[in-house]
Amino acid sequence: MKPAARFAAVAALLFVTAAGLASLLFVPVRGSIEKGFEPGEPVVLPLKPEATMVWATTRTAVWCDYPDQDGGFSQVSMRDQDLWIERKRTTWYGVLTLQSWPAGDRTVTCDGGIELAIGRPPLVHDARTEALVILGSFFAAAAGLGLAAAALARRRTTQRAM
C-alpha cells in the first residue's frame, strides 16, 4: 500500500470513529423520560431484560411491587448514583432500575415518589464524562478531516509532479 493510500485510510478511519462518537449527540446520553405514571397505582409497563430506569421528581426511595406473574423480575436502587436529567423545566432523578425476563408488558405498582416515569437509563453517568465524549468526538472529527485534507493535497502535489 502506498504511503498516500495509508494516510488516506487512517484519515478515513479517524473520521468514521469521530462520526460514530458524534452520533452520541443525537442519543439521549443522560437517559430519557418516556412514560409517566402515578405512584401507588397499578400500571402496565413495557419491561425487558435490559434495565429500564424509574425516574422521580424527588430523590426519594422508590420501590415497586410485582404481583406474582410468570418470569423473573429485578429492581435495583440507584438513589446513590446522582443520576438526573432536565425535561420540560423539571428535574428527574434516576431512583430505580427494573428488569424483567422474558420481555413484555408487566403490571407493576411503584410507590415512594411525587411523580414517577420510566425511560432509558443514562449511557453516561456524569457531566464530566459527557463533556469528554463530546470534546473527544470533536477532536477526532477535526483530526480525521485534517488528515483527509492533507492526503488530498499530497495526492494533488504528487500528480502534478508526474
Say yes or no: 114 and 43 in one domain: yes
- Banded model confidence at residue 29, pLDDT cuts 50, 70, 90: low
> Mean pLDDT throughout 110-117?
88
Distances 140 to 15, 120, 133, 136 between C-alpha atoms, Å? 7, 27, 10, 6
Biggest alpha carbon distance in the chain?
79
What count of Cα atoms within 13 Å lies in the side-chain half-sphere of residue 150?
A: 15
- Banded model confidence at residue 145, pLDDT cuts 50, 70, 90: confident
Measure CA of the first residue to CA of the last residue in the chain; give whole Å: 19
Q: Does residue 160 sit within a domain? A: no
Say yes or no: 57 and 111 in one domain: yes
Confidence (pTM)? 0.65
Say yes or no: 88 and 131 in one domain: no
C-alpha cell at 73: 423480575
Say yes or no: 41 and 14 in one domain: no
| Beta carbons of 37 and 43 less than 8 angstroms apart | yes
Say yes or no: 43 and 113 in one domain: yes
Q: Does residue 156 sit within a domain? A: no
Say yes or no: 106 and 52 in one domain: yes
- Banded model confidence at residue 85, pLDDT cuts 50, 70, 90: confident
Say yes or no: 38 and 8 in one domain: no
Say yes or no: 37 and 104 in one domain: yes
DSSP assignment letter at 120: P
Residue 121 identity (one-letter amino acid): P
| Beta carbons of 51 and 103 less than 8 angstroms apart | no
Quote the pLDDT of residue 37. 93
Q: Does residue 78 sit within a domain? A: yes
C-alpha cell at 61: 426511595
Q: Does residue 109 sit within a domain? A: yes
Say yes or no: 82 and 22 in one domain: no
Question: For residue 80, with 0-12 CB atoms within 10 Å meaning exposed, 13-18 middle and 19 or more buried, which class applies?
Answer: exposed
| Beta carbons of 91 and 107 less than 8 angstroms apart | no
Q: Does residue 74 sit within a domain? A: yes
Total structural domains within the chain: 2
Q: Does residue 157 sit within a domain? A: no
Residue 1 lies in domain: 1-29+126-149
Q: How far is CA 123 from the centre of its chain?
A: 3
Say yes or no: 107 and 41 in one domain: yes
Is pLDDT above 70 for 21? no
Is pLDDT above 70 for 14? yes
Find, among 38, 22, 45, 53, the residue nearest to 125 by Cα: 53
